[in-house]
Homo-oligomer: A and B are copies of this chain.
Amino acid sequence: MSSLKELSALFESQFKERQFPEQPQQLYDAAQYLLTLGGKRIRPVLCLMANELFGEINKDTFHVANAIELFHNFTLVHDDIMDKSAIRRGQPTVHTKYNEPTALLAGDVMLVTGYEHLNKIQTKYLPRILSLFNKTAKEVCEGQQLDMEFENRETVSFEEYETMITLKTSVALAASMELGAIMGGAGLHNQHHLYEFGKFLGVSFQVQDDYLDAFGDPQKFGKTPGGDIVANKKTFLLIHALNVADNDTKASLNQLFLSKDEHKVESVLQIYKDCGVDDWARQLKNEYYQKAMIHLEEVAVIEKRKGPLKELAAYLLNRSV
| Chain B residues whose CB sits within 8 angstroms of the CB of A144 once the complex forms | 105
Across the interface, A130 reaches (CB within 8 A) one of B104, B115, B138, namely B115
**Chain copies in the assembly?**
2
CB distance from A116 to the nearest CB of B (A): 5
The interface residues of chain B lying within 8 Å CB-to-CB of A21 are 138
Is there an interface contact between A149 and B26, defined as CB atoms closer than 8 Å?
A: yes
Q: Which of the residues B23, B126, B137 comes within 8 Å of A126, measured between beta carbons? A: B126
Task: Name the B residues within 8 Å of A138 (CB-CB).
Answer: 21, 109, 112-113
- Residues of chain A in range 76-128 having any CB-CB distance to chain B below 8 Å: 78, 81-83, 100-102, 104-105, 107-109, 111-113, 115-116, 118-119, 123-124, 126-127
Whether a CB of chain B sits under 8 angstroms from the CB of A181 is: no
In the bound complex, do residue B119 and residue A134 qualify as a contact, i.e. CB atoms below 8 Å apart?
yes
- A320 contacts B by Cβ under 8 Å: no
Q: Is the CB of A112 within 8 A of B127?
A: no
Any B CB within 8 A of the CB of A142: yes
How distant is A50 from chain B, measured CB to nearest CB, in Å? Answer: 22
CB of A244, distance to nearest CB on chain B (Å): 28
Q: Is the interface of A mostly helix, strand, loop or mixed?
A: helix
Tell whether A300 is near chain B: CB-to-CB under 8 Å.
no
Which residues from B are CB-within-8-Å of A26? Answer: 145, 149
User: With a CB–CB cut-off of 8 A, which chain B residues contact A100?
Assistant: 82
A86 to chain B, nearest CB (A): 16
* A78–B108 CB distance below 8 A: yes
In the complex formed, the residue of B with least CB distance to A145 is B27
Q: Is A146 an interface residue (CB 8 A)?
A: yes
Whether the Cβ atoms of A105 and B27 lie closer than 8 Å is no
Contact of B131 with A104 in the complex, beta carbons under 8 Å: no
Query: Is A24 among interface residues, defined by CB-CB distance under 8 A?
Result: yes
CB of A141 closer than 8 Å to a CB of B: yes
The answer to whether A148 has its CB under 8 Å from any CB of chain B is yes
Chain B residues whose CB sits within 8 angstroms of the CB of A119 once the complex forms: 127, 130-131, 134
- A105 near B127 with CB under 8 A, answer no
A112 and B126 form a contact (CB under 8 A): no
The residues of B that contact A123 with a CB separation of less than 8 Å are: 123-124, 126-127
- Asked if A105 and B78 sit within 8 Å, CB to CB, the answer is yes
A-B CB contact pairs (8 Å), 10 listed: A24-B149, A78-B105, A78-B108, A81-B104, A82-B105, A104-B104, A123-B123, A123-B124, A123-B126, A123-B127
Q: Which 5 A-B pairs have the closest CB atoms?
A: A82-B101, A27-B145, A112-B137, A119-B130, A24-B145
A residues within 8 Å of B by Cβ?
Answer: 21, 23-24, 26-27, 78, 81-83, 100-102, 104-105, 107-109, 111-113, 115-116, 118-119, 123-124, 126-127, 130-131, 134, 137-138, 141-142, 144-146, 148-149
Known A82-B104, A115-B134, A126-B130; further 10 A-B contacts with Cβ < 8 A: A78-B108, A81-B101, A82-B100, A82-B105, A104-B104, A105-B141, A105-B145, A108-B141, A115-B115, A115-B130
